[in-house]
Amino acid sequence: MNVSTDAKFSKRTDKIKRSPIRELLKLITKPEIISFAGGIPDPTLFPAYLIEEATKSILRNEPEKVLQYGPTEGDLRLKSELVSRLAKKDNIKINEDEILILTASQQGLDLIGKILIDSGDTVIVGLPSYLGGLGAFSSYGANFIGIPLDDDGMRVDIIEEKLKKLKKEEIKRVKFIYVIPDFQNPAGVTLSLERRKKLVEIAEHYDILILEDTPYRELRYWKKSIPPIFTLAPRGRVMALFTFSKIFCPGMRLGYVIGSEPVIDRIVLVKQSTDLCTPPFTQGILREMLKGGALDEHVKKLVSVYRDKREFMLNVLNKYMLPLNLPDLKWTRPDGGLFLWMTLPLYMDAERMLPRALEKKIAYVKGCAFHYDNSGKNTIRLNFSYPTMDAIEEGIRRLSQVIAEEKRK
């Protein structure tokens, strides 16, 4: 008998879409392609030597610990380092039972989806929003309410409007608001302090949790930082996700989540059957990097390089895009992070345009991938951390040609 594999797959996975970013990244491994696609750190900046030293240190001093199974909650000494660092950097005051080490923050999105979402529950998300979040929540059967963004981030007033229209039973099924407050992925905009406060107010009023996902917070190039939503809300209202993919390296898959003890406890429960524990080996390396302050020094370097790249991309955008004379062509000016967000004239379609961009050996992510409802056809996400300055100039020049060819005569 033939294996009827297709008939056996779970219904939940029939709905999952392939990540267009990850599929695109496979296509663009050729070195001649200039990629604005991934949310990828500059590979020339990886602190390889420091990692070698840190690895040597843990392998010589504690091989029996870092090569063994570890607690699901994460390495206690690493958690303590992070607790102090959070207090110092952002005045976030938690204890070691309110933090859990993750196999990068994508795992946090998955596990939070798993502990909170029953099929048919609702999550409030940005339009656009990080597609890895949308994918993780979808895989547990989430429905979405989409909230547009402007230059000050998510339109919190629209969240309130939408909630007002829901019935009591429907509100009960709104499990959380997913927000990326700092230099949002993909839009690059930052949620203002006023809106952060208002968001907390709404979440309190309707008793809805907030998931604050902040992978880029330390990569700020302009203006003063705004307090995390976590610090503006009463205990237990906010779960916050952090990753080391952008400020250290993605190749170790390290991140963490902070939240109330019941939430952390429930995540521990599901993490046990998901991967038992985040690798103690890589946790040990990270702990070494944090201990001596080496990671903080490294972040300073990243900020300085990425600040220049951002500035440079904004300059070449002016240089090549303004002559196109398209008044509806706009882009954001992010205060930090890795991306800026381009809006094309409404009649253009970034998905249809992509094959021609790839022909010209440039890549971007179509903006509709970040919209759960597949809207945003005329938007594009552009990454500036990965390409070199030369590649940024040449890539934007080519992109301007691609857009010029789309222009209505």
| 242 backbone dihedrals φ, ψ, rounded to 5° | -130, 150
Residues whose CB falls within 8 Å of the CB of residue 294, separated by 6 or more in sequence, listed in order:
47, 50, 54, 288
Contact window for a second copy (CB under 8 A) among 90-98, 249-257, 287-295, 301-309:
249-257
Length reported for the chain: 409
In the region spanning residues 91 to 150, those forming contacts with a second copy, defined by CB under 8 A, are 103-104, 106-107, 109-110, 114-118, 121, 132, 135-136, 138-140
Question: Could you say which of 100, 249, 290, 353 contacts a second copy (CB under 8 A)?
Answer: 249
Contact window for a second copy (CB under 8 A) among 4-12, 86-94, 184-192, 393-401:
4-12
Minimum distance between the CB of residue 139 and a second copy, rounded to whole angstroms?
A: 5
DSSP E strand stretches across 23-158: 34-35, 99-102, 122-127, 143-150, 153-154
Counts for the chain of helices (H) and strands (E), in that order:
17, 14
Contact indicator for 336, 221 with CB cutoff of 8 Å: yes
Burial group, residue 274, by CB count within 10 angstroms (0-12, 13-18, 19+): middle
35 near a second copy (CB under 8 A):
no
Pick 251 or 323: Cβ nearer a second copy: 251
In the region spanning residues 291 to 350, those forming contacts with a second copy, defined by CB under 8 A, are none
244 near a second copy (CB under 8 A):
no
Minimum distance between the CB of residue 397 and a second copy, rounded to whole angstroms?
A: 25
Instruction: Name the region of 161 (left: φ>0; alpha: ψ -120 to 50; beta: rest).
Output: alpha
CA 4 to chain centre: 37
Amino acid at 128: P
In the region spanning residues 197 to 216, those forming contacts with a second copy, defined by CB under 8 A, are 204-205, 207, 209
Minimum distance between the CB of residue 399 and a second copy, rounded to whole angstroms?
A: 23
Pick 6 or 390: Cβ nearer a second copy: 6
Rounded to 10 deg, the angle between the 193-206 and 156-164 helix axes is 20
167 near a second copy (CB under 8 A):
no
Question: Could you say which of 241, 252, 290, 362 contacts a second copy (CB under 8 A)?
Answer: 252
40 near a second copy (CB under 8 A):
yes
168 near a second copy (CB under 8 A):
no
